[in-house]
Amino acid sequence: MSRKNIAIICVSKGFGGLELNTLKLAEWLRKYGWNVSLMVAKDSEMERNAGSYCDSVFTTDVHGTFGKMKAIRKWLKVFDASVLFTPHNKDIAAISLYKRLVNNRVKQVYQQQMQIGMSKKDLIHTFRYGKIDLWISPLNYLREEAALQTRVPLRKIAVVPLGIEVGRFLNNPVSRTDAREKLSLPQEPKMIGVLGRIDPKKGQDFLIKAIDHLRNNPSQNYHLLIMGAITPNEGDHYLKSLYQLVADNNLTDRVHFRESTSDVELFYSAIDVFGMPSHGETFGMVTIEAMASRKPVVGTNRCGTKEILQDGKLGYLYEYENMDDFTQKLAALEHNAHLPEMLEAARIEVIQKYTSEIMCRGLDEVMTKLIEK
């Protein structure tokens, strides 16, 4: 079995943060000497993009645990993996079944991207998680949650933060004026921005309501930039409801919708404040990007946002869905004489903890130790 052959499975039809991060991870791991093969869903955006990120691509259109397990068996007959890795919790069961029925030597690694939520100590989840050799959590609170809510031993749970290509944000040459011109945005107003998947749990509706709430206050007369897209095949009901909310409150000149772009630097250059209204963000890559871009973050006092912002030391936290608290934190931001120092501290935190190099070095270290046992 080759020492550094990693098979990464992400059989998802979507193409949001999870999928993009998986492709980038495949590319980065190759720089650390890993031979990388990807299993992706047939006729998906992942399939259309995967070829340039890894050494080989295997596609499947099967569904269900047993079907995926058979697809994995077929895949690994031609790719001799030492590590079978997934960032997608829906693929854990198939990998576990493969280990139990076909090949128990391959090391199963799960990179956690979702919170556990309720207890997973029941028989089914214990059986499913029982073959995981290494559980990787991106933040400390997720490691603690995994240890509390599952029967996975703490010794098998490592913390390796997710990382970004930090240089593109630290050295962003695009000016605010140019960014707004390219995105067809007005030049004068202060702009709150929210970036990512358009979904009820992401809380874009809260920020629209906030713009309505703020517009009668001359000192907090903000506009809102919403950049992102819906998840494919999940309907556009929520997006339509956002448009309706804007129309009902006569906010069409203050709320600006833009499609996702690979040039996300434009987004960060265009905004003055980054909003993170998520109901409970597991990690928050966009929060890290905003910090690297020296943009103040105002986010919900929950989950990953709370830990990344160090309980309010590196940004502003408001209580979930509390409009008064949100507006107070926005006002505090505007009157903070030490805001430049806070933004610099946040930027340094990203450089020291959340870069792609640090992430890959950490993953390489824990996975190399695993296969050398």
Domain extents for the chain? 5-163+356-372, 167-353
pLDDT score at 2: 54
pLDDT in tens, 66-94: 999 999 999 999 999 999 999 999 999 99
**In 3-state terms, what secondary structure has residue 67?**
helix
Residue 38 bridge partners (DSSP): 8, 57
What does each C-alpha distance from 47 to 9, 15, 41 come to in angstroms? 12, 10, 7
Domain 5-163+356-372 and domain 167-353 have a common topology: yes
Q: Residue 120, exposed/middle/buried by CB under 10 A (0-12, 13-18, 19+)?
A: middle
Task: Record the pTM.
Answer: 0.90
167-353 fold = Rossmann fold (3.40.50)
Instruction: With beta carbons less than 8 A apart as the criterion, state whether 144 and 336 touch.
Output: no
Least confident of 220-224, 304-308, 341-345: 220-224
Least confident of 83-97, 167-181, 184-198, 221-235: 221-235
CATH code for residues 5-163+356-372: 3.40.50.2000
Least confident of 121-135, 156-170, 213-227, 267-281: 213-227
